[in-house]
Structure 1
Amino acid sequence: MTGQGVPSEQRAPETPAFSSAAVVASCVGFVLIGALQALYGPAVPAFREEFGLSPSAAGLGLGAHFVGGVAGVLFFDRLFGRIGNRRILGASYLLMAAGAAGFALAPNWPAALAMALLAGLGFGGIDYGLNQLFATGFGDRSAAMLNILNAHFGVGAILGPVLIGVVGSAHYPAVFLGFALAGLPPLFCLRGVRDRAPRPLGEPATATGAGAEERAGGGPVLRRGLASVLAVFVALYALHVAVEAGVGGWEPTHLETIGYGAGAAATATSVYWLMMTIGRFLVAPIALRFSAQAIITVSCAGMTVCLLLAAVPGLAPYAYAGVGLFIAPVFPTGLTWLNRAAPRARRAGALVIAASMVGGVVAGPALGKAIEWSGIRAVPLLLCGVSALCLAATLWLIRATRPAPAGRPAAVRT
């Protein structure tokens, strides 16, 4: 009712976080970062031949990219809110384009690694900047828009290897140069990006004093419990990306071990990534009707059950596809939940995005060591255990961030 709350004349008109052109350009940007991450693997044979590399040395290309990505997230987080969103995104696109071009033209492998690091720095800035802005810039539609944005990352991850396959890995420099050029057009749409971060959801434009402090910092989480909540969010992100990378990396080997042909195993893995992309598009309308907590709970439970079913040889390819479908909403939808649970902790988004990248890097060696002890056939059960931890973390977070009853202060429940 207009007679209560903040009078209408005190409300400043809200500038949209993105113009329509900027939304489209942001989705294109996520196609590009998805493609960049996926280009390194298919080009490994050409790296090895050109520079005389061992398999482990060639794998450092993607490792340098991820290290740059984590550094980019943390570095641009320090600048977020200080120099303006347009400059952060503009610098990130330029760094990524320069790094991709430098990688294509590098005269030796150390120079190529330095350029991969530079491209990763821009990658991290785009990943962090756009996720952070989409998480706060669309109000009740933020979860839906985040899923659509991140679905385009999957589109790029599918198209990148296809492009390398079409032109041949020997021509990877041309692909990376074309990618560098493709990263420049989104710069012209940055005028449509709001230059300052939107206020936390529900905070009036003129709110000041104790009421504003309560709205900005309260949420359902008080300071004394904030560290625990953020730690569990970080764990959730690291663990779920470990599952994502673990399935993507070990599904072909597991399927071949239990009797599937190499072609069928590779196709099933492609279907897994495709289902993850489709899942994010499908969950967008669902996110308009159901809470982030409910969506993530169903997602973690679903992927845990699917991984358990993947231990049954006859069901394995279909179960892995189900994992892709269920895991799809966790990353984007979790950012919306985090933003609403702890709106005052602005750096929380940077922590969980960095954790997701670290989870992807650590998952390979850690899972590989576990497989050495238990055997390839145990892959789905090992990943099922990690997925069950994701579900446990989600249930804890629901309890910890549940709003207190009326008349009682909100607090983290332990």
Structure 2
Amino acid sequence: MKIQRPANLGLILLAFIAFVALGLPDGLLGVGWPSIRASFAQPLDAIGLFLTASVVGYMGSTFLSGMLLARLGVGRMLAISCLLTGVALIGYTLVPAWWMMAALGTLAGMGAGAIDAGLNTYVAAHFSEGLMQWLHASWGVGVTLGPIIMTLGLSNLNTWRFGYLVVGCFQIGLALCFALTRHMWSRHTAAASAEPEIRLTDYKTPMSTTLSQPRVWLSITLFFLYVGGEASLGTWTYSLLTESRGVEPTLAGFFAGSYWFSFTIGRIVAGLIATRLGVHRLVLGGLTGAFLGAALLLWNPSPLANVVAVAIIGLAIAPIFPALMSGTKTRVGDHHAANTIGMQMTATGFGIAVIPSLLGVFARRMSLEIIPICLLVVYAVMIGVYIVAVRVQKPISIASNVEAEHS
């Protein structure tokens, strides 16, 4: 395990601030969407184009992140990525046509993907696992603040552009910080590379072999459904409350913020109790809580029940992603873990693009009230898929041992 040095405190703080900034735009869209689509005269499901464009940019930059890190270095790549994101976000407030905003979404996705991959790679290489958990919790801080910033802009200035302008300027300021500290990142990387490291076993399993394993597809499906459900509630809560349930916009904005707030709290708490409870209990408990929260949101016995339901879901799902990631080797076996992890990350991109967009199509053709029904289905299916994946763990372990003995 790597030891964090006081000399690196500035870099650690900058990494945390960067992940807060990474979460801010994700929190803006859900609250801002009704006003955004009204200003561009777009239908409810037009958000699908925007999400798809953003995910294409995100997946492209994460795929190329290794090459970019090698050529540019960590500090320079983070500076360019933040600048790219900031320019795109400010561009949202200036463009006159919807297709232009969608095109800028690709640019913003590219910047966000490079920041995400660059920081994750750097922290994983040079700091402890505990710091990685807190880093992802700081993303929750950003995505919690996003709805609040957007709500303030809508309620006080009657414009969604305020939120993107504030966050865009913040990103450009962060780009300047990364540019000024780029040599510090390089020096720390060089010093760390001179130290002995414990390396994970590297299995050179052909991708075709991994793709032939049903258990691998179960694992990929879990990530596709999880991230799709997480993004769907964050995207559609505000629209559901304001356009279907008559909740006052300012109050609905804080309701939407409660989702990400409870998500952040849940991830912090999970980091403290994960070792004691274990991966299986965290995942199954989280999915059960999310299912019950979705059921309460569907039932809707009172306005207060909305915020309680949203908060329950946020709290429940918080530990699921890192727990599923930690349990990958157990589900699919040592020899397929590396390939599967890469495909799981790809599945998250598809989940973000497909499931919220599909919910938008359903909401436009039927009603926004279809959203809690779809969420209920997503979490029910996840519970079923996860139980199947857990039940095949023993055969997987045996098969892995046999493969190891014959290799």
Pick the TM interval, shorter chain.
Answer: 0.7 to 0.9
Classify 1:286/1:248 alpha carbon distance in 2 versus 1 (closer, same or farther; 3 Å): same
Q: In 1, Cα distance between the equivalents of 2:346 and 2:96?
A: 31
Would you say the 8 A contact 2:61–2:111 is kept in 1? yes
Q: Does 1:335 align with 2:325?
A: yes
Letter of the 1:326 counterpart: A
After superposition, give the CA deviation of every residue in 1:151-202 in whole Å (9 maximum; x if it has no partner): 2342343444245345552754743652342332244455347648x99xxx
1:96 pairs with one of 82, 85, 88: 85
Would you say the 8 A contact 2:224–2:350 is kept in 1? yes
1:296 pairs with one of 274, 283, 290: 283
Would you say the 8 A contact 2:85–2:171 is kept in 1? yes
Q: TM-score, normalised by structure 1?
A: 0.72
2:117 pairs with one of 128, 132, 142: 128
Q: Does 1:64 align with 2:56?
A: no
Q: Secondary structure at the match of 1:169?
A: coil
Would you say the 8 A contact 2:45–2:357 is kept in 1? no
2:309 pairs with one of 313, 319, 322: 319
Q: Does 1:357 align with 2:328?
A: no
After superposition, give the CA deviation of every residue in 1:32-70 in whole Å (9 maximum; x if it has no partner): 122223445628747865xx6434697455553333223
Would you say the 8 A contact 2:225–2:382 is kept in 1? yes
Classify 1:98/1:325 alpha carbon distance in 2 versus 1 (closer, same or farther; 3 Å): same
Would you say the 8 A contact 1:217–1:344 is kept in 2? yes
Q: Secondary structure at the match of 1:314?
A: coil
After superposition, give the CA deviation of every residue in 1:108-130 in whole Å (9 maximum; x if it has no partner): 66554443322220111112333
Q: Secondary structure at the match of 2:166?
A: helix
Q: Does 1:388 align with 2:380?
A: yes
Q: Does 1:76 align with 2:65?
A: yes
Q: In 1, Cα distance between the equivalents of 2:379 and 2:105?
A: 31
Residue in 2 that maps onto 1:10: none
Letter of the 1:287 counterpart: A
Q: Does 1:237 align with 2:223?
A: yes
Would you say the 8 A contact 1:147–1:333 is kept in 2? no
Would you say the 8 A contact 1:73–1:124 is kept in 2? yes
Q: CA deviation at 1:239?
A: 0.7
Q: CA deviation at 1:371?
A: 5.6
Letter of the 1:235 counterpart: T
2:42 pairs with one of 47, 54, 68: 54
Q: In 1, Cα distance between the equivalents of 2:12 and 2:223?
A: 25
Q: Secondary structure at the match of 1:217?
A: coil
Structure (1 or 2) with the greater helix fraction: 2
Aligned length: 384
Classify 1:85/1:16 alpha carbon distance in 2 versus 1 (closer, same or farther; 3 Å): farther
Residue in 2 that maps onto 1:154: 143
Q: CA deviation at 1:29?
A: 1.1
Q: TM-score, normalised by structure 2?
A: 0.73
1:305 pairs with one of 292, 298, 304: 292
Q: In 1, Cα distance between the equivalents of 2:117 and 2:359?
A: 27
Identity, in percent, stands at: 22
Classify 1:81/1:106 alpha carbon distance in 2 versus 1 (closer, same or farther; 3 Å): same
Would you say the 8 A contact 2:54–2:105 is kept in 1? yes
1:274 pairs with one of 261, 275, 288: 261
Would you say the 8 A contact 1:236–1:393 is kept in 2? yes
Q: In 2, Cα distance between the equivalents of 1:57 and 1:268?
A: 22
After superposition, give the CA deviation of every residue in 1:197-228 in whole Å (9 maximum; x if it has no partner): x99xxxx7488xxxx8xx33399xxx658854
Residue in 1 that maps onto 2:274: 287
Classify 1:119/1:256 alpha carbon distance in 2 versus 1 (closer, same or farther; 3 Å): closer
Would you say the 8 A contact 1:88–1:129 is kept in 2? yes
After superposition, give the CA deviation of every residue in 1:210-254 in whole Å (9 maximum; x if it has no partner): xx8xx33399xxx65885454333322221122223333444565
Q: In 1, Cα distance between the equivalents of 2:211 and 2:36?
A: 50
Q: In 2, Cα distance between the equivalents of 1:362 and 1:175?
A: 28
